[in-house]
Chain A
Amino acid sequence: GGAVVHTSMFAVLKEKVGQVVVPGDEFCFDAENTISLSESAKPDRAVCGPGLRRTGDRLVVMKSGVLRHKPPLTFWIESQQKRYVATKGETVIGIVTARGGDIFRVDFGGSELASLSYLAFEGATKRNRPNVQVGDLVFAQFLIANKDMEPELVCIDGSGRANGMGVFGPGGLLIKVSLGLVRRLLAPKSDIRSDLEQLFPCELVVGMNGRVWVRASSVQQTLIVANLLQSCDTMTTQQRQQLFKKVQQGAL
């Protein structure tokens, strides 16, 4: 959410950008700095991203990680995590665990099962039910995801179109990676994605809950891509590029 931040706290926050912070670090509001004739008294409105929390007129760090800044006013903590917490609007890969009544129960790796309605697919009506069985994989986005309510998934966007979401076809392999790797894969100019493109032609679906679905032209290539993704989680850029080069030369 937004937090009204006075210009002096803003200056202190900016100094710490790119540094590692730990839970409990505070960005305090210094009362003396506001009484200044040269500075304008207009407060800046800073946006707190994940890992930051506002208490009163201070910003407190909740998770350990690197403080990042996106101009003009967005601050967040980039942390390394394995467990996913449902957030509205994010697309995830879920496994259908049960069907009952008018809904499917989907496991996305969070603390409870999400519900996915039969009618939340493109072109689905009460007579024309989607062809989804228990154990299928679905790519869906969160319609409702907060700490107080049961999470709800849908496979259509606001205008009723699938937009790439829905049930997965046969074949392919589902692997579990860390949330940091998922963010790096989904970044606009991703190094890992461009390195992978040069390797084999393959289909890749990335869910923000740390699950990645891979399908290449043969089973062996699918396994190679899956193993590469799982191992480059903890590697630096140079190590990763060396590994990809070795695979390209057919050593593995």
Chain B
Amino acid sequence: MEVSAPLNVSLREFGCEQSLLSRPDGSASFVQGDSSVMAGVYGPAEVKVSKEIYDRATLEVLVQPKVGLPSVRERSQEQCLRETCEAALLLALHPRSSLTLVLQVLHDDGSLLSCCLNAACMALMDAGLPMSCLFCGVTCAISADGQIITDPTAAQEKDSRALMTFAIDSRERKVMMSSTKGSFSVGELQQCVAVSQRASEKVFQFYRDSVRRRHSKSL
């Protein structure tokens, strides 16, 4: 089945704020359209002897849903986030320490995992943790008639036959993590990866602009 990729990737309005919480060492909130996630980072801090790793830091991720207690869906989101963050952070610089990343979902209107990834990256930057590269999350949905939609809303996600989230790194635009749902062909997957890589340019430019604005007082 032919899948048509959009020439211009359209993403919803972004919004981001750093250092908004006073207790955590780093915090950020990221808004994509109506989806909004707040992230807080603690670390490098003390770690329990049972959880310490002798040559690198121990990263813990907690995702709190908007309503109710965390369930299996949050656990799988935590696993995806943890894998991405461990690949981007330089954990070997803080052995026998713990890094804790807590995410609170404020509103879910589609593309939740990529909003969490973006909030996590901005919070890690805000905390001053050493990173080897930045990462961003992009969600693609394949609709019933074959269109690739980037950054879908909850309504668009419900009508799609496949939903994919990719974490893209900032140095070589490679895929760090992928989480997919639904049925699609190999060709469609490759097209979605290409579209996500193009969309990630806009997100990384947005990161740069946010950081520039934040440091503008000291320039």
Contacts and interface: CB of A to CB of B under 8 A. Distances in A.
Q: Do A and B bind each other?
A: yes
Contacts, number: 88
Contacts of A60: 132
B87 to A, nearest CB: 12
Q: Specify the main secondary structure of chain A where it touches its partner.
A: loop
A79 interface: yes
A111 B215 contact: no
Interface string A6-23: 000000000000101011
A38 B207 CA distance: 40
A19 B128 CA distance: 17
B94 A62 contact: no
A51 B215 CA distance: 15
A20 B43 CA distance: 23
Interface residues of B, number: 36
B134 A81 contact: no
Contact of A111 (B46, B125, B171, B208): B46
A80 B215 contact: yes
B95 A148 contact: yes
Could you say which interface size class chain A belongs to? 20 to 34
A18 B26 CA distance: 23
Contacts of B127: 81-83
B176 interface: no
B44 A23 contact: no
B208 A20 contact: yes
B25 A83 contact: yes
A4 to B, nearest CB: 21
A158 B133 CA distance: 40
B170 A111 contact: no
16 contacts: A20-B211, A23-B134, A23-B170, A24-B133, A24-B169, A51-B130, A63-B129, A80-B215, A80-B218, A82-B127, A83-B128, A85-B44, A111-B97, A112-B46, A147-B93, A147-B95
Interface of A: 18, 20, 22-24, 26, 51, 53, 60, 62-66, 78-83, 85, 110-112, 147-148, 180, 236
Given A20-B212, A83-B128, 4 more contacts: A22-B170, A62-B130, A63-B131, A147-B95
